[in-house]
Amino acid sequence: MPTVDVLIVGAGSAGLFLLGALVRKGISALLLESKALGFGQTTSSQGILHAGVKYSLGGLAGDDATEAAAAAALWSKMLSGEGTDLREVCTMADHCYLWRTAGIAGAAGMLGAKVALRTRPEPVSLAARPAWLKHVAGEVLTLAESVIDPRSLLHVLAQRHVGRIALGEVRSVTQRDGLQRIEIAGAHPVTIHARQLILTAGAGNQALSQLAGSACEMQRRPLRQAMIRGPLEMAFGHCIDGAKTRITMTSDRMPSGDVVWHIGGQVAEDGPSMSPEKFQAHVIAELRSVLPKVNLERCSFASYAVDRAEPRTVDGRRPPRAFSHTSGGVTTVWPVKLVLSPVIAAEIAASIAANEDPAVRWPREMPLPELAQRPWEAATTSWSSIA
Mean per-residue pLDDT, 235-261: 92
**Residue 60 predicted with pLDDT over 50:** no
Q: By percentage, how much of the chain surpasses pLDDT 70? A: 91
Answer whether residue 47 shows pLDDT above 70.
Answer: yes
pLDDT > 90 fraction of the chain, expressed in percent and rounded: 74
Q: Report the largest interatomic distance among the alpha carbons of the chain, rounded to a whole angstrom.
A: 69
**Domains in the chain, CATH or no CATH each:** 3-42+153-217+312-375 (3.50.50.60), 94-145+220-309 (3.30.9)
pLDDT at position 197 is 97
Instruction: Compute the distance between CA of residue 212 and CA of residue 288 in angstroms, rounded to an integer.
Output: 49
**Mean pLDDT, rounded, of the chain:** 90
The confidence score (pLDDT) of residue 82 equals: 95
pLDDT computed for residue 65 by the predictor = 65
Contact 299, 232 (CB under 8 A): yes
**What pLDDT is attached to residue 115?**
46
- Judged against a pLDDT cut of 80, whether residue 61 lies above it is answered with no
Q: Residue 336 corresponds to which amino acid?
A: V
Q: Give me the mean pLDDT over the 338-352 stretch.
A: 95
**In sequence order, what DSSP letters do the residues of 245-302 get, joined into one string?**
EEEEEEEEE-TTS-EEEEEETHHHHHGGGS-HHHHHHHHHHHHHHHSTT---TT-EEE
Q: What is the pLDDT of residue 55?
A: 55
pLDDT given at position 356? 72
Task: Say how many Å lie between the first and final Cα of the chain, rounded.
Answer: 59
pLDDT surpasses 90 at 243: no
Alpha-carbon distance of 39 to 160, in angstroms, equals: 19
Mean pLDDT value of segment 239-264: 92
Q: What would the mean pLDDT of 350-358 be, rounded to a whole number?
A: 85
Q: How confident is the model at residue 51 (pLDDT cuts 50, 70, 90)?
A: confident
Integer Cα distance of 57 and 51 in angstroms: 12
Return the minimum-mean-pLDDT range out of 43-52, 86-95, 152-161, 335-344: 43-52
**pLDDT of 271-298, one tens digit each?**
999 999 999 999 999 999 999 999 999 9
The 10s digit of each residue's pLDDT in 199-218 is: 999 999 999 999 999 888 99
Say yes or no to pLDDT of 28 above 80: yes
Residue 319 pLDDT class (50, 70, 90 cuts): confident
| pLDDT tens-digit readout, 133-190 | 999 988 899 988 999 999 999 999 999 999 999 999 999 999 988 899 999 998 889 9
Can you give the pLDDT at residue 383? Answer: 96
pLDDT of residue 354: 84
> What pLDDT is recorded for position 380?
87
Residues in the chain, total = 387
Q: How confident is the model at residue 116 (pLDDT cuts 50, 70, 90)?
A: very low
